[in-house]
Structure 1
Amino acid sequence: MAVQKSFAMAAMLCVCLQPATATPPVLERGDESWIKEALEVVLAEASVSHCSLTFMMDKTSSYFYEAVRFRMPATKTGGDVVLDVADDGSTDVNLTMTQVVAQARKMRLMSWCTLVVVFSDNPTFLSVFAEMADKGRLMVWETRLLVITRLPLSNLQDLLQNYWTFSMMNTMFLKLNTSSGENHCQIYGHMPYGPTGSHVAQLASLNSGYILVYLSDRPLFPEKYNNFHGMKVNLTWIPLTPYWMVTKRPGPNGTEITTFSGRDYWIMENIALIHNFSLNPLPYTGWDPVLKSLRTREAFLWPVPLPILPHMLELYDISFFLERSTLAFSMAKPSTKPSWETVYRPFQIDVWGLVVASVVTVYIVLLMMNTSNKDKGPGAWLVMKQVLGTLLDEAIPGELPQRSNTRVVLTAWLIFSFVVGTVYRSNLTASLTIPKYPPRIETFSGLVDANAKQVHHAFFNVAPSLPV
């Protein structure tokens, strides 16, 4: 099922689930109309125009087909997908729910935001969904979950309090009564932090005129973490300077006092001050216990610099960023060459090679021309002094050659020596006046070409700072 983000979509996926409890009482045909009206009111209030809808349904619910019929037109939302969990007992419940959650997660990843609506009167179905949604990373805080059920209030409270997906995520329960009338629908949510601690709160009810009546100042899908009401929040950490530093000093009665500092600790302190909670850093015993404390939710926070790399996105979901930074590397400033190397620095190696080749060629030519002359010309040593001397801006030693062709060669060599000498002296003066530093590495490909292999391992064994 390939669906692109930002345009409407609709699909049906049928999988199987073993029956776990007896089928709940079947509603009368006339009751389906008010259930339809109630669900339309709540969904219209809870959903956002550009968010997609994902319906997960249990056929043991008598209002299943009505729920499919009333779903909002895809043009009013970001699209919708219906996941029909059938009841023929042919597949294991955990395997089946894993497949359904995986499809729902694909829908969530392709949408700007998602509202997941689950229909079921089966507590086993809902408990398995909660476990698989947590394990399959279906929920992030921006994803809203609405559970519609006719379970008794005691069952509903057990589900809200005992499963992370229902208790800590952005979840509401819509409880339908078996008959219409005043307050025939109630909406509940679990508030993990409050003046009296963790509790299940009734957020609203639906009266006989299909009007939502709010029972508190909380809206639908209330924010659970704006105020922790002075609770202690467990926090794990790693001693990574300068982000998190530990100082130990002697205390009274032979005790040891541990204090924390560093950039990440100060950020956490300010967040705790704003949201009214206190930090409880857990003892650091190594990398593995840090990750385990997050998986088991012994710790709620881990402030850490996190590079968002592709292989990490396969393991973790990122809710939001405190700050963004680019991937960077640092290297020592390139140093200049030793002073004795300034003699040949004005020319590159290939230029020096051409100069040496020219000296050898001119020397051989002049020597051969003098040898072919009937009159004895200058010797080999004198020819060498003529070639090197003129190159070094010295006077021509000995007598000038008598033959015209020898004079032409020597004149050409004088011009060549003048040009080379002038360029050399100019470049030498410039290099001595303004030092030229070697080029430094500016790109990642340049870093690879430089065979830089040492990387700090700490930045590749990290997890999100907010596991919820």
Structure 2
Amino acid sequence: MYEGTKAAGRSIGDVGAARGVAVFDVGVDGQDANVTQAQLCLVVSQARRLRQVSWCVMVVVVSNDPAFLTAFANWSLNGRLLVWSTRLLVVTRLPRLDLEALLVSHWTFSMMNTLVINTETSASDKRYSMLVHLPYSLDGARVLQVASWTPTSGLRYHPPPTLFPEKYTNYLNLSLRCLMEDEGLWHRGEEMSRPGVLGVVWRSRGLRSPAVGGTLSGAGCGVGLRRGLSGGSSQEPAVVRRARCFYGATINVTVLTYEPYWRESIEGNTTRYSGTDYNQLDAVAQALNFTFRVLPSRSWIEVTDQVQIRKSFMATVIYAVIAEELERWDLTFAFDQTAVRFVMATPVITPSWLSFYYPLSGQVWICVLACTLTVCFTLVKITRRKTWQTRHGVLSTGAVVMESVGILLGQGLYGRLSTSHSNHILVGIWLFFGVVLGTAYRASLIASLTLPRLPPRPETVEELVKVVDRVTIRSFSGSFKKFFLNSKSSAYRELGSMLVGGDVMDGLNAALEMKSAHLSDPLNLQLIISRNFAKLDGTSPLYIGREKLLQLSIAWPVPHDAPYTPQIDKCLRIITQAGLYEQWKKETLEAAARESRMKQREEIKQQGQDGVEHSQTNFRSLSIIHIQGPLLLLLVGITLGSVAFVVERLLVSKPHPSSTPGPMRLTLD
């Protein structure tokens, strides 16, 4: 890939007939910059297709124009041209300072597997320097010369003996090379054959020299150092830690508080972090030897946006593995599983005048009514017979019914019924039935009044979409809406149409105030509810639905084709297989529950005597809502009795036609 200039053409030569080589010419001379950018975008797209279908690809870019190289670096990132296994060779003729500035300022040249061949010509000598940029070393980022070529001496390697060194693995020879250059013991092209050179380097850094036998050449420095570490020096762990992957550098990460995975607390001027994902990041940082700095983010969208533009190396909080999200970033090894469930306000009890009806089922009430009618009919027949008449004479039907119902309610048995043996047997059985039924009814009535039965609450997605008007979810999870809308289930599609972004606390408060629900993972919901909404008795106005809407894997977002992702994946895999993440999750939840209990105890202590009186009188007293059923029944009875009384008075006050006296006649004898 080269710019269409004569200088670049002379550099690249005629390779059009070579097999296995694709040559792309991007015109620069006499063309508008926008046209060049469009051509470069098309070329990168075609080259990426070639890279995807090929087993091993090396991309060669030839240009002497810094603007062209800058454009290529940007478009190669946007077009995802390079991965770590794809080697990039840049051939140019730029001043050394300008070249180093170019390498440092672009991700493609500094972080990826890039080698630069720079032509350094003079009147008497022609020399080619081969340079790589090491983003991490013992002394920070630096440009390192790995080889050189001259017409007289040919190609000469500089340790390490490779043109494309690994930048993110434990290569100690690179570290030794940097140490030697700093101490003035490295001279390009000369062998380090003096005994004791390695010891001088180690002692200059305050380390004890390991036992190294024989002489060390420049190419064998890394081998000698590894032999020294195997000799058992007491300083081995320090050197190994300093020589690992990131060499103690500080990397940027983005994250927001999402308990129990990540929690941020400020103590004075110090910010402290905790949570399962923080513990995991701390373990990875120790393994790969880096420290991290949390970049400020105002929203979850900004958290991932900074990863996407490579300002942040990764977002160190759980993200669901969803195909739609992979268009914006890559994900690390999936180290855990989680579910998506909904939380809603617990349904409240609506007042009902049928509160006295609830203790018994409808079938029981029908059986009681049938038994009462049967007993009343039988007693009426017994008392109507002249053989068994009592001293009160023949009782009316109303009096017998009142006696029977009074016995059932425990308010009857005035001795006005017949004294026959059959009547005694029937009344005794009726008394026993009334005692059993009355005791059971009173116990159930007290239970239903003090501990009422809650109305049914939604537990599935089908029930959820019928009772809510909207559903909130974390603002970064816009892909969930697309997933639900594209689902084959009508309930999920309706759920997707209700889905809006929002914070967890805002979603939970909205669930209490309106017909709304919030979606999140159960651990986060349990922790926030217990910490912010739980009462002293352990109850909460919110509940978590039983159905799992989704079962997802979780990972950390990283930039597309980040070269350090395999090292992070290896650490995450070891942590997961050892069960550390599950243990951290358990410890975090236990600590949160313990903290919540201590907070509640402190609140009770601060309340003092008021808290004691509250705890002593913390029972549910009956209100007008509980007994409105009997009150309404009494009101209906009083109303009917009043109506009957008025009707009777009207009938009594109206004279009967047959009983009206005629005109008085006076007769005189």
Tell me which residue corresponds to 1:464: 557
Going from structure 1 to structure 2, the CA distance change for 1:212 and 1:330 (only over 3 Å counts) comes to farther
- How far, CA to CA, are the matches of 1:183 and 1:308 in structure 2? 53
User: 1:230–1:278: 8 Å Cα contact kept in structure 2?
Assistant: yes
Counterpart in 2 of 1:302?
315
Among 260, 275, 284, the alignment partner of 2:288 is 275
Alpha-carbon spacing, 1:186–1:180, altered in 2? closer, same or farther (3 Å): farther
2:334 paired residue among 313, 323, 347: 323
Q: 5+ unaligned residues in a row in structure 1: which ranges?
A: 1-54, 75-79, 250-254, 333-339, 344-439
Amino acid at match of 2:312: A
Aligned to 2:58: 115
Is the 2:307–2:559 Cα contact (8 Å) retained in structure 1?
no
Match of 1:230 among 239, 244, 248: 248
- Contact 2:251 2:293 (C-alpha < 8 Å) held by counterparts: yes
Decide whether aligned partners of structure 1 residues 210 and 91 sit closer, same or farther in structure 2, where only a CA change above 3 A counts.
farther
Amino acid at match of 2:272: T
The alignment partner of 2:80 has SS state of: coil
Mark the CA change 1:260 to 1:116 in structure 2 (over 3 Å): closer, same or farther.
Answer: same
Alignment correspondent of 2:272: 259
- The residue correspondences of 1:43-122 to structure 2 (distance < 5 A) are 55-56=1-2, 58-60=4-6, 61-63=8-10, 66-69=13-16, 71=18, 73-74=19-20, 80-92=21-33, 93-111=36-54, 114-122=57-65
**Take 2:32 and 2:316, find their aligned partners in 1: how far apart are those partners?**
42
Between the aligned partners of 1:155 and 1:230, the Cα distance in structure 2 is: 28
Contact 2:115 2:131 in 1 (8 A): yes
User: Separation in 1 of the partners of 2:328 and 2:493?
Assistant: 32
* Distance across 1 between alignment mates of 2:26 and 2:266: 57
Matches within 5 A, 1:330-345: none
Alpha-carbon distance change, 270 to 105 in structure 1, aligned in 2, over 3 angstroms: same
- Per-residue displacement from partner, 1:22-70 (whole Å, max 9, x unpaired)? xxxxxxxxxxxxxxxxxxxxxxxxxxxxxxxxx4454431435635158
Checking the alignment, whether the CA contact within 8 Å between 1:304 and 1:465 is kept in structure 2 is no
Q: 2:261 aligns with which of 243, 246, 268?
A: 243
Distance 1:104 1:463, change over 3 A: farther
Q: Is the 8 A contact 1:181 1:207 kept in 2?
A: no
- Give the aligned partner of residue 130 of structure 2: 187
Q: How does 1:161-172 map to 2 (within 5 A)?
A: 161-172=104-115
Which residue of structure 2 aligns with residue 381 of structure 1? none
8 A Cα contact 1:248 1:258, kept in partner: yes
| Residue 132 of structure 1 pairs with residue 75 of structure 2 | yes
Q: Are the aligned partners of 2:261 and 2:277 in contact in 1 as well (CA < 8 Å)?
A: yes
- Closer, same or farther: CA 448–208 of 1 in aligned 2, 3 Å: farther
Residue 292 and residue 82 in structure 1: after superposition, are their counterparts in 2 closer, same or farther (change >3 A)? same
TM-score, normalization by structure 1: 0.52
Cα 1:326–1:228 change in 2 (3 A) is: closer
Unaligned runs of 5+ in 2: 170-244, 344-359, 364-459, 462-486, 503-519, 521-551, 563-669
Contact persistence 1:248–1:259 (CA under 8 A): yes
How far residue 118 of structure 1 moved from its aligned partner, in angstroms, is 0.5
Contact 1:183 1:205 in 2 (8 A): no
Q: Shift of the alpha carbon at 1:271?
A: 1.9
1:381-396 superposed matches below 5 A: none
Distance, in Å, in 1 between the alignment partners of 2:120 and 2:17 is 19
The one-character-per-residue Cα deviations of 1:101-154 (angstroms, maximum 9, x if unpaired) are 232233334445532110122223212222332343333333321101233323
The alpha-carbon distance between structure 1 residues 303 and 209, as it changes in their structure 2 partners (threshold 3 A), is farther
Q: 1:314 aligns with which of 321, 324, 327?
A: 327
Change (3 A) 1:321 1:292: closer
- For the residue of structure 2 that corresponds to 1:98, the secondary structure is helix
Q: Tell me, what secondary structure is at the counterpart of 1:81?
A: coil
Tell me how far apart the structure 2 counterparts of residues 70 and 203 of structure 1 sit (CA, whole Å).
31
Q: Which has the larger radius of gyration?
A: 2
Relative to structure 1, the CA distance from residue 132 to residue 446 in structure 2 (aligned partners, 3 Å threshold; closer, same or farther) is closer
Change (3 A) 1:331 1:296: closer
Output the amino acid matched with 1:139.
L
**Alpha-carbon offset, residue 247 of structure 1:** 3.7
Structure 1's 132 and 210: CA in aligned 2 closer, same or farther, altered over 3 A? farther
Give the TM-score taking structure 2 as reference length.
Answer: 0.38
Structure 1 pair 300–59 and aligned structure 2 pair: CA distance change class (3 A)? same
Distance change >3 Å, CA 295–CA 452, structure 1 → 2: closer
SS in 1 for 2:98: helix
CA contact (8 A) 1:182 1:206 kept: no
Q: CA deviation at 1:191?
A: 1.3
Please give the alpha-carbon distance, in whole angstroms, between the structure 2 residues aligned to 1:119 and 1:103: 17
Return the offset for 1:188: 0.2
Give distance in 2, aligned partners of 1:114 and 1:238: 39
After superposition, the C-alpha distances for 1:310-356 in whole angstroms (9 at most, x for unaligned) are 4334333x3x6323677965699xxxxxxx99x9xxxxxxxxxxxxx
Counterpart-to-counterpart distance in 2, 1:260 and 1:224: 29
Do the aligned partners of 1:303 and 1:465 also contact (CA within 8 Å) in 2?
no
- Give the match's secondary structure for 1:137: coil
Partners of 2:84 and 2:303 in 1: CA distance:
23
Determine the structure 1 residue equivalent to 2:103: 160
Q: Which residue of structure 2 lines up, in the alignment, with residue 175 of structure 1?
A: 118
Q: Secondary structure at the match of 1:68?
A: coil
CA drift of 1:196 comes to 2.2
Partner of residue 298, structure 2: 285
Hey, what's the Cα distance between the residues in 2 that align with 1:269 and 1:167? 25
- Specify whether residues 445 and 232 from structure 1 end up closer, same or farther in structure 2 by C-alpha distance, changes over 3 A only: same
Q: CA deviation at 1:265?
A: 1.8
Shift of 1:198: 1.8
Aligned runs of 1:437-448 on 2, under 5 Å?
448=491
Q: Give deviations 1:224-274, integer Å, cap 9, x for gaps.
A: 23432222212111222333223444xxxxx15432222322222122112
Do the aligned partners of residues 266 and 84 (structure 1) sit closer, same or farther apart at CA in structure 2, a change above 3 Å counting?
same
Moved more, 232-241 or 287-296: 287-296
CA contact (8 A) 1:206 1:213 kept: yes
**2:256 partner letter:** I
Distance 1:168 1:199 in 2: 12
Instruction: Say if 1:295 and 1:445 are closer, same or farther in 2 by CA, change over 3 A.
Output: closer
Question: CA offset at residue 173 of structure 1?
Answer: 0.2
CA RMSD of aligned residues (A): 4.4
Go from structure 1 to structure 2 and tell me whether the alpha carbon gap of 1:463 and 1:105 turns closer, same or farther (over 3 Å shift).
farther
Moved more, 227-236 or 173-182: 173-182
Separation in structure 1 between the aligned mates of residue 341 and residue 307 of structure 2, nearest angstrom: 31
Would you tell me which structure has more helix in proportion to its own residues?
Answer: 2
Q: Distance in 1 between matches of 2:310 and 2:79?
A: 16
